[in-house]
Chain A
Amino acid sequence: MLDVKINKSLGDFHLDVDFQVKKGIVGLLGPSGCGKSLTLQAIAGLLKPDSGRIAIDERVLFDDKKRVNIPTRLRSVGYVFQNYALFPHLTVAENIGYGLAGLSKQEKQQKVRSILETVQLEGLAKRYPNELSGGQQQRVALARTLVTEPDILLLDEPFSALDQHVKKMLELELLEIIKHNFSGVVLFVTHNIEEAYRLCDYICLYDSGSNIQFGEKGEVLTRPVNKAAARIVGCENIYEIDSFEGSLIIVNDLQLKVVGTSITHGKYVGIHNYDITFVPSSSEANTFEFKVRSIVEGIDHSTVTVTVGPLLFKVDVPKATVTQISEGDIMLHLPPEKLFLLGV
């Protein structure tokens, strides 16, 4: 159980974070410079908050009211830095053994050997970091921190230093290693929603210094709480609501039916690109005639931009079906259960 509630002012930037995590892998997701990494630094004791409290289970790491501020070296926190921060003048084995200062030489060797096996780097113990590939460096960094048996694991964009083509392969590897060797809370900083969704159990959304939403990943993705949250989870179709009429909401003369949420609240309505569909002509609710503006071809899907009156919709469709999209024959459908209402 990780409990974080902190404030910190850095010039014009204000960090104001408040969340509790019971277990699992939590993705801290948000644009660059929104305070995700600062949160990790505060938990590790590398950044002193102005006020607040940080605790792991019953162990208080920081509490300004009780004047508790445990130094970094005693916090028992595992930290994998963005560029891995390996010690360039030490071998792989020495890097991994660095955090085992209190142990006898024999114990140390044994632990290093065993963790090297876990991360499948047995043959590289005597190599120096600059002789390793990015993926190997990442595993050394992970091994170096796991071997100290930390209470919590902090991962700061561990994939950002890697080439695109090895990323997905290594994601799976990293996940396997962590799941088999670590049972505590894992905080995983990323600015990529897909990465967060693939790797995490929970997602914590950040926007300009504050966490704006925390929840199970599926729920955060399908029910963002406000406009900023919706943008962060990749939603491009967000519209201001003009008025409510019974169970319908009015957006620029379009009548939209929404189910699943109380519809008297909200300033905006949104829908994910991939939730919009094309259907044969029908008079069903939320079905509209449209005009195609443009089609951008992607690798696994194409994005079609269409207009309904003055409103612009971006729709992700499978590439095979792009050719079937023609104005007049089919209509645009916004499934009522997929629409979500947003606060400010």
Chain B
Amino acid sequence: MDQINLFPLYLSLRVALTATLITIIIGLPTAYYLSRARGRVADFLDTVITLPIVLPPTVLGYYLLVLLGRNSAIGSFLEERFNIMIVFTPTGAVIAATVVSIPFLIKSAKAAFLGIDLNVVNAARVLGRTEFNIFLTIIVPLAWRGIAAGITLGFARALGDFGTTLMVAGSIPNQTMTMPIAIYDALLAGNRDLANVLVFIMTAVSLFVLYTINRLEKRVSKGGAN
């Protein structure tokens, strides 16, 4: 057997980790906002955010192409101003992975935020802390289980994304070909051995990452939280 090209694995992990990081930075404040806000704007936002869970990946990919493609307003702006191209680049893969995985974190974290006793938050306010400080010292620790579950699900979803990534980033070998696409590619090419090896690696990596996050979750939530 030839030397196995591990670039897809490296790219997949990089894309999934970056997407998860972006998901946390954007997703947690959004989830907190949704858990506190009442009214139509919040309801609408909540619905739109859930959409990626329900829509077929191809539809999602199509939207991203329309929105971020070179002919779109955003796409041409980014290209002219910053020389950033999204379609058929790893950046596109990260955006695709972020969009498909962010609803999982937001849904899960929002439910966890809603479970926090408002009086506990009020107690922290009365004790003189700022809202941001309270978010970090009280709200995130108390909602940690839900947040960790959301991160886990989101990461798994980002790592395994096929359809949306393929639509947005394509399958250029050694550039945008992620693990799931490489597996499909190997199967199409009739390379059963390569497919088997890649599937095995993918499964092992997923298991390892999920197990680690699970352990982490248990350790951090010791001390009577929840």
B128 contacts A128, C-beta separation under 8 Å: no
30 A-B residue pairs with Cβ-Cβ distance under 8 Å, sorted by A, are A44-B122, A44-B126, A72-B126, A73-B127, A73-B128, A73-B129, A73-B130, A79-B122, A79-B126, A81-B122, A83-B119, A85-B123, A86-B123, A87-B120, A87-B123, A88-B142, A88-B224, A88-B225, A88-B226, A89-B223, A89-B224, A98-B127, A98-B129, A99-B127, A101-B129, A128-B224, A129-B224, A130-B224, A144-B123, A148-B128
User: Shortest CB–CB separation between residue B23 and chain A, in angstroms?
Assistant: 24
CB contacts (< 8 Å) of A128 on chain B: these are 223-224
Query: Separation in Å of the A160 CB from the closest CB of chain B?
Result: 13
Which B residues are CB-close (under 8 A) to A112? none
- Among A77, A79, A87, A99, max chain B CB count under 10 A is at A87
Q: Please give, as numbers and ranges, the residues of chain B lying within 8 Å of A49 by CB-CB distance.
A: none
B126: which A residues are within 8 A, CB to CB?
Answer: 44, 46, 72-73, 75, 77-79, 145
Q: Is B138 close to A, CB under 8 A?
A: yes
B13 interface residue per 8 A CB criterion? no
Which residue of chain A is the closest to B141 with respect to CB atoms? A89
Q: Does B124 have its Cβ within 8 Å of any Cβ on chain A?
A: yes
B residues in contact with A64, CB < 8 Å: none
Contact A81 B225 (CB under 8 A): no
User: How distant is B131 from chain A, measured CB to nearest CB, in Å?
Assistant: 9
Please, what's the 1-or-0 string for B121-164, where 1 marks a CB less than 8 Å from any CB in chain A? 01111111110010001100110000000000000000000000
Q: How far in angstroms is the closest Cβ of chain B from A182?
A: 15
CB atoms of A46 and B122 under 8 A apart: yes
B80 interface residue, CB < 8 Å from A?
A: no
**With a CB–CB cut-off of 8 A, which chain A residues contact B119?**
81-83, 85
Q: Which bracket fits the contact residues of A?
A: 20 to 34
User: Is the beta-carbon distance between B127 and A148 smaller than 8 angstroms?
Assistant: yes
Considering only CB atoms, which chain B residue lies closest to A154 in the complex? B126
Could you tell me if A87 and B138 are in contact, using CB atoms closer than 8 angstroms?
A: yes
Considering the chains assembled together, what is the distance between the CA atoms of A46 and B133 in angstroms?
Answer: 17
Q: How far is the CA of A135 from the CA of B50 in the complex (A)?
A: 45
Task: Please report the C-alpha to C-alpha distance between residue A89 and residue B117 in the assembled complex, in whole angstroms.
Answer: 13
Q: Is A131 an interface residue (CB 8 A)?
A: yes
The chain B residue with its CB closest to the CB of A141 is B123
Min C-beta distance of B44 to chain A, whole Å? 24
Q: How far is the CB of A85 from chain B (nearest CB, A)?
A: 4
Contacts A72-B125, A89-B223 known; 9 new A-B pairs at CB < 8 A: A46-B125, A73-B125, A87-B124, A88-B120, A88-B142, A89-B225, A99-B129, A128-B224, A148-B128
Residues of A within 8 Å of B138, CB to CB, are 87
Cβ proximity bits A69-97 to B, threshold 8 Å, 1 near / 0 not = 00011110111011101111111000000
Residue in A75, A81, A88 with the greatest tally of chain B CB atoms within 10 Å:
A88
